[in-house]
Amino acid sequence: MNSHAQPQPRFLERSGVRVPRFLYGTAWKEGETQRLTELALLHGFRGIDTANQRKHYDELAVGHGIAAAIQGGLVTREELFLQTKFTFRRGQDHRLPYDPKAPIGAQVEQSFASSLEHLGTTWIDSYVLHGPTEGVGLVAADGEAWGAMETLHERGQARLLGVSNVTAEQLEALCRKARIRPSFVQNRCYARQGWDREVRTFCVANGILYQGFSLLTANRDATAHAELRRIAERHGRTPSQIVFRFALDLGMIPLTGTRDAEHMDADLAVFDLHLDPDEMERIERLVAGP
């Protein structure tokens, strides 16, 4: 079977911002961060996801990679979608981008100013709250952080806002209270939870774009499933490519953190892959729980 259809758009538009439909994630890269950021840009990624959380990211090295690509004439800043995050104290190690004794709103301002410096830019395309304070519900600190992020948006410094690592209940509560609703949700996406069906359903109903991370690493049972491998073989593709195409067809913006240049090319090659509706249904049911 020829699975190649007409190449599909690689960008969405949200409030005047050009949003790539596939992002490159820079977590857990450490000393390889700059090289891999440059490599991802060289191989066609135009959306870079990072965080001002030295525990898991090296945002400054991401900035160095971006600067090298711009200086080399590969891209312009305007062609890039840069997404970074504010992380509460509990998600950080000792290398804090803010004064932990400062009010939460001031911490957001300090972290954001540091991100602008790290990334060598005057604006951030998407600024994300890197998870609520608690695992359940929202507390005052969450509202304070979001209010500070809204101020950054109103100044034009943070063009879009988002939130990550949230439950459907937390997302609904945030949307009720926020003056400016999130444009994005970024969650680890588990096949056994219906590919985060509850949160995705809320996002669709409320015009929020869902970003899925750990689509491969969190779903090894799904990627190794015989049914998924049969679908991949039918299309002459890899199981990883099928998962990413499936995610796109569900309306997700997938993230990949691959360190391999060939895998980068293979990931972006899913835009000319077409899955049939029955294949989509079979993948959605692979290892889903109740």
Distance CA(16)–CA(158), nearest Å, equals 13
Distance CA(37)–CA(74), nearest Å, equals 12
* Count of C-beta atoms within a 10 Å radius of residue 6: 7
Where are the extended beta strands (E) located within the chain? 11-14, 17-20, 23-25, 47-49, 81-86, 124-129, 158-164, 184-188, 209-213, 252-256
At how many degrees (to 10) do helices 168-177 and 197-205 cross? 30
Give the predicted TM-score (pTM) of the model.
Answer: 0.95
Distance CA(3)–CA(273), nearest Å, equals 6
Tens-level pLDDT at each residue, the chain (290 residues): 444 455 679 999 999 999 999 999 999 999 999 999 999 999 999 999 999 999 999 999 999 999 999 999 999 999 999 999 999 999 999 999 999 999 999 999 999 999 999 999 999 999 999 999 999 999 999 999 999 999 999 999 999 999 999 999 999 999 999 999 999 999 999 999 999 999 999 999 999 999 999 999 999 999 999 999 999 999 999 999 999 999 999 999 999 999 999 999 999 999 999 999 999 999 999 876 54
27, 194, 280: which is closest to 37 by C-alpha?
A: 27
Q: Facing residues of 209 across strands?
A: 184
Distance CA(89)–CA(290), nearest Å, equals 35
138, 186, 136: which is closest to 27 by C-alpha?
A: 186
Q: If DSSP codes are grouped into helix, strand and coil, which group holds residue 254?
A: strand
Percent helix, strand and coil across the chain, each to the nearest 5: 45, 15, 40
> Going from the N-terminus, what domains does the chain have, and what CATH number goes with each?
11-220 (3.20.20.100)
Distance CA(266)–CA(285), nearest Å, equals 25
